[in-house]
Chain A
Amino acid sequence: MTTATANKVKAPKKGFKLDRQMIPTLAAVVIFLLMIIMGQALFGTYIRLGFISSLFIDHAYLIILAVAMTLPILTGGIDLSVGAIVAITAVVGLKLANAGVPAILVMVVMLLIGAVFGLLAGTLIEEFNMQPFIATLSTMFLARGIASIISTDSLTFPDNNNFAFIANEIKIIDNPKISNDLSFNVGVIIALIVVIYGYIFLHHTRTGRTIYAIGGSRSSAELMGLPVKRTQYTIYLTSAILAALASIVYTANIGSAKNTVGVGWELDAVASVVIGGTIITGGFGYVLGSVLGALVRSILDPLTSDFGVPAEWTTIVVGLMILVFVVLQRAVMAVGEKK
C-alpha cells in the first residue's frame, strides 16, 4: 500500500550499530588477553592454572559487585553504597554466626540487611527526588557508620561454621605444585550464577529492558508507559542484595571481616563496569563486559607489582592503565563511528 515510503526507507546494513555498541566490550576482551600474554611473556607466571584459579576465587566478590553496579549505571545512576553494604552485612553476619545462629539463617539476614539499604536508597531516589549519587552516598555513610557502631573488632567465624562450604576449594586438576592446580569454589559458582542471572535479567526480562530505556531517557520511558518507578526500586534493591551476596562470598572466603572491609570497592566496581564498556551516563552496556572489566581491574595490581613499579607510583600507574584503556576504547569507537 505504501510504496512511496517503502522505497525511500532503505534498510541500513543489519546490526551494524549494535556491533558498534559491543566494540568497547570486545576491546576489553582483547586487552585482557593481551595483558595475560604480556604477563606470561615477561614474568612467566600468568598462564598458570593456579594464577587463573586464584584470579577467579579471589575476585568472585568483585565480579558480583560489578554485575550489581552495572544495573544502576545502565540507567545513568550509580550505587556508591555497595562497599559499605559489604561491611555492614559482614559485621552483622559474623556477629550472628558467632552467636551460634545457623549459617543459612545468617545468610538470609545478611541478604535482608542488604535489601533494607537498597530499599532505603530506592525510596530516597524515587520518593524524595534525591539523585542516586547522593542517595547512595548517604546510605554508604549510614551503612558504614552502623557497621562500626556494631563492632570495630576483627571478627572471625567460629570453628566448623557452615560458611566454609562456600570457600572450600574444589580441585579439578591437582598437581604436585600448587601453582599448577586448577580449582574453584562455591563462591566462584555463585558469581557465575549471578552473571548468568544478570544477563538474563537485562536481556530477557521486561524490567531489564526498562533499565536500558531509563538509561536512554527517563522521561521518554515514563511517557512510554514503562513502570519506571518500580524498576528503579528493583535496581537499587538488586544491587544492594548482590552486594550482600558479595559480602557472603568474601567473608566466607577469608573467614573473617570487620567494619573497614570494602572501603573503595564501589570505585573498583565502577571502574570494572566502565572498563567493560558500559557508559557511565547510561543506556549502553553489557553485564559480560563488566565481568571482563572486573578481571582486567584485578590483573592491574599484580602487573604493577611485577613490573617493580615504585610504591609511590603504583596508583599513578594503575590510573594510567585505566586511562589508556578508556582512551583506547574511545579510539576504537571513533574509528567504528567513521566507518
Chain B
Amino acid sequence: ACGSSNNAGGSSSDGGKKTVGFVAVGPEGGFRTANENDIKSAFADAGFELVYSPTQNNDQQKQIQAFNKFVNDEVDAIILSSTEDSGWDDSLKKAAEAEIPVFTVDRNVEVKDDAAKKAIVSHIGPSNEWAGEQAAEFVNKNFPDGANGFILEGPAGLSVVKDRGTGWSNKIGSNIKVLESQSANWSTDEAKTVTAGLLDKYKSDNPQFIFAQNDEMGLGAAQAVDAAGLKGKVKIITIDGTKNALQALVDGDLSYVIEYNPIFGKETAQAVKDYLDGKTVEKDIQIESKTFDAASAKEALDNGSRAY
C-alpha cells in the first residue's frame, strides 16, 4: 500500500482518482476490523483513493488531528468514524469552509454550530440503541415472569456503551432485575473472570440471563457459565454478530445474538460517489441489522455469507 505516493497530494479533483480521507478507529478485532476492512475494499472497488488514518487508545485528539490534516490536504471527501460524538464543531467548520463533504459512519456526531452541520452530508450506520432494545425485548419475551441477571458493559464512558445501555433500559420490563452491571472492558478474558465472580456472588439469586454488550464479552461469560456448570440455565445475549458468536449460538453457549452490522462499505462508497457526482444523498442511511437465534445462526453460517 506504500505505493500511493501522491495520493493525498494537491487538489485531486482534476480528472484522476478522487481521494477520500478515512478518519478511523483502528483495528480492534471483531466488529471494528470487519467494518474498516469492508469500507476500505468497497472504496477501492468504487475507484477511490482511500487514505486511512487510525487512532490509538480511542483517542479523539488523534482523530481530530487526522481530520484537520485531511482538510489541509484538500481531499475530496472525509469519512468519519468517530470515537466520540461531540467535539467536532471546529473541525467540521474547517471542512465546511474548504467545501469538503463529510460522511459520518457507525457513530453519529452531535454538532451545534450551523456551519459545521452543513459539512455533514450523511450518516451511515446501524443503531446501537436499537441493538440494546432488541436485547431487552428478548429478555422480556423469554422471562415473562421476571428474572435476575447481569449486564457486562464495555469501558465506562464510551458512547456505544451508553447507547446500548439506553436501548436496554428503554425497553426492559419492570419485573426483570439486573443484579449487577460490571465492566469487562470488551474483553473475553475479563468477562470470564467477572462473570465467574458474579456467579459466585449471586449464587442464591439464581441468575438467569447475562446481557453482554458485545460478542467478545459474551463468549467469555459463556465459558464462565460453562465452568460453573450452568450452561443452558443462564441465557446469554450479545451484540455484534461475529462468526464466533454465531457458532457459539449454534453450540448453545449463547442464546441470542443481535447483529450490529459492520458491512456497509458499499453503501458508504455509493453515497460518496453520488454526492460527488452531484446527486442528492439521504441524510440518514440506516444499515439494517438482524437478530439471530440458534436456527438462523446455523443457516447464516452454512450459507457462508458471513464476512466477519
Give the B-binding residues of A (Cβ under 8 A). 42-45, 48, 50-51, 54, 58-59, 61, 148, 152-156, 159, 167, 177-179, 250, 253-261, 263-265, 298, 301-302, 305-312, 314-315
Contacts and interface: CB of A to CB of B under 8 A. Distances in A.
Nearest to B36: A311
Contacts of B66: 301-302, 305
Interface of B: 1-10, 24, 26-27, 36, 51-54, 56-62, 64-66, 68-69, 71-74, 84-90, 94, 97-98, 110, 112, 155-159, 162
Contacts of A61: 61
Q: Is the interface of B mostly helix, strand, loop or mixed?
A: loop
Contacts of B72: 45, 48, 50-51, 54, 178-179
Among A45, A156, A167, A257: residue with most chain B CB under 10 A: A45
A264 B59 contact: yes
Contacts of B7: 43, 306, 308
B58 A301 contact: no
A37 B2 CA distance: 18
B284 to A, nearest CB: 20
B158 A178 contact: no
Report the 6 A-B pairs with minimum CB-CB distance, sorted nearest first. Answer: A152-B157, A254-B87, A256-B86, A256-B87, A308-B1, A305-B53
Nearest to B68: A54
Nearest to A44: B9
Contacts of B52: 305, 308, 311
B2 to A, nearest CB: 6
B57 A263 contact: yes
Contacts of B74: 45, 177, 179
Given A260-B58, A260-B158, A305 B51 contact: yes
A155 to B, nearest CB: 8
Contacts of B61: 58, 61, 250, 254, 261, 265
Nearest to B73: A45
Contacts of B71: 50, 178-179
Among A308, A312, A315: residue with most chain B CB under 10 A: A308
7 contacts: A43-B5, A58-B61, A58-B68, A178-B94, A256-B87, A302-B69, A308-B3
A154 B159 contact: yes
Contacts of B56: 264, 314-315
B165 to A, nearest CB: 10
Given A148-B156, A178-B71, 5 more contacts: A45-B9, A54-B68, A152-B156, A178-B98, A260-B155
A311 B87 contact: no
A315 B86 CA distance: 26
Given A152-B156, A156-B110, A306 B24 contact: no
